[in-house]
Amino acid sequence: MPDPLARGRHGDVPEPDPRRWKALWVTLTAGFMTLLDVSIVSVALPSMQQDLGASPAEIQWVVSGYALTFGLALVPCGRLGDALGRRTMFLAALTVFVLCSAAAGAAPSVFWLIVARLAQGLGAGALAPQNSGLIQQLFRGAERGRAFGFFGATVGISTAVGPLAGGLILALAHGPGAWRWIFFVNVPIGIVALVLAARLLPRAAAGRREHIDVGGVLLLGATVFTVLLPLVLASAGGVARLWWLFPLGAVLGWLFVQWERRVIAHGRPPLLNLRLLRGTPGYASGIALGSLYFVGFSGIWLVFALFFQHGLGYTPLESGLAVTPFAVGSAVSAAVGGRLVARLDRLLTVLGLGLVVLGLTATAVVLALTPAGAAGAAAGLPLLVAGVGGGWVISPNTTMTLRSVPVAMAGSAGGALQTGQRIGAAIGGAALAGLFYSVLAASGESYPVAVGAAIGAAAVVIALAWVIAIADWRSGRRAAAHPAEPVHVPE
């Protein structure tokens, strides 16, 4: 297959790959599976614990281990995709994910289940940045906005429908061992995606092998590990026991910055070019916005599950159906948002975040005041409003954060964006669940008060992301009126 970035017939316009849209759907299908596995497992934890005789701490690692290794792999594997070829990395990562999904489903003990989930998370984290990198590579102009719209919809919907998908699988595969199908279902889909990806994804240009910043990989990996580990173990007291890792992470982060500056000064390609933060329009603000949004967005799903299942006695399927309006609204608006982002720019994100804040605030009030029997139905409309807004956040923010990034750095830049999202999700899951339990205890086991407080807190955090979006929008308008010379970011 010809390289999609090969020059056109006249030598100055790249010819688009004729199979780029087919390739996109294959990569998004694989990406959907890996992101779905972040949240889908939660509804099956009780049956896993019973079948395998696992302790609460052991079963927590089934969720936390996947999130931890997922976050660790993002930036290093994004850079490897930039250097060695995104097709190579995508196929290798998807192979690891499929094999480990089969191993997790067949795990004879909780120990082997945890091992499989750790390796599965590495595969998922290695695959994720190849998606955004391939979009940068395959698409241009308005088409890139549409492609990122579909990518953002995939990110948002996979997280939102995880509880529903898990509930459906458990309902269909009922009985002992039903939880194993949550992992087995990835295998046939993954095999088909592998075959199609091998045929459709473009090969790297011959001789394209670059220096790999091993020191940067180790320092950034250690930094992300020290920040994520206490957060993903928060429900087991990780923050209280491992608080000392946060200042250690700050030191390691400073060392990483100094190392990257040294690598750039010596003329070698860094793991993550820090000049992107000040030299690429919208990149730094996009990472900050996305990280804050994911604190609230990812944290609410565990709170909803606790409220509906423990507080109201819903089944996993009923609990998933109760929050489906958010997923529906997000799916529709994300597809539309990909077409609007070129015209409205950051204003679209401003509008979207405003709707999310409005919808979640209304949801918090409704759930706090509505009788238990009507809570699920009453929350439908405000969750739909929040979902419509959410579809105008992830997709446009991804587009605007990465649109000016050089293609040669697209994988590592996309990995950094998603690392911020994973850290935000870990903070949100720990903080909002902790707030829910604290208010629950203080209010005398009042689930409506606890869920209202937690969802209200999520709305406040997302309002902070809204402030960043407004500031970025206003800055963009000023820059358009008074254009300045851009800072050059070497590839």
pTM of the model: 0.79
| DSSP letters spanning 199-214 | HHSPPPPTT------H
Q: What is the pLDDT of residue 435?
A: 87
Which stretch of 127-136, 342-351, 425-434 has the lowest confidence by average pLDDT? 425-434
Count of the separate structural domains present in the chain: 1
Query: Is 45 part of any domain?
Result: yes
Query: Is 486 part of any domain?
Result: no
What is the arithmetic mean of pLDDT over 296-305? Answer: 84
User: What's the CATH number where 262 sits?
Assistant: 1.20.1250.20
Q: What is the pLDDT of residues 31-53, one digit of tens each?
A: 899 888 877 887 777 788 888 88
Is residue 349 within a helix (H) or strand (E), and if so which, with residue range? helix 346-369
Range of the domain at 327: 20-479
Give the C-alpha distances (Å, rounded to integers) separating 282 from 272, 335, 338, 401, 402: 16, 22, 17, 5, 8
Amino acid at 77: C
More confident position, 334 or 461: 461
More confident position, 204 or 298: 298
Asked whether residue 491 carries a pLDDT value surpassing 70, the answer given is: no
Query: Is 463 part of any domain?
Result: yes
Contact call for residues 93 and 194 (beta carbons, < 8 A): no
Query: Is 8 part of any domain?
Result: no
Query: Is 9 part of any domain?
Result: no
More confident position, 71 or 487: 71
- Report the share of the chain in percent with pLDDT over 70: 92
Query: Which residue from 320, 457, 378 is spatially nearest to 449, judged by alpha carbons?
Result: 457
More confident position, 50 or 189: 189
CA 261 to chain centre: 28
The radius of gyration computed from the CA coordinates of the chain, to the nearest angstrom, equals 22
Q: What is the pLDDT of residues 235-264, one digit of tens each?
A: 667 777 888 988 998 999 899 889 888 888
Query: Is 368 part of any domain?
Result: yes
Q: Dihedral through CA 5, CA 8, CA 13, CA 15, nearest 10?
A: -50
Query: Is 475 part of any domain?
Result: yes
Highest mean pLDDT among 30-44, 152-166, 235-249, 355-369: 355-369
Query: Is 487 part of any domain?
Result: no
Q: What is the pLDDT of residues 261-286, one digit of tens each?
A: 888 888 787 777 777 777 777 888 88
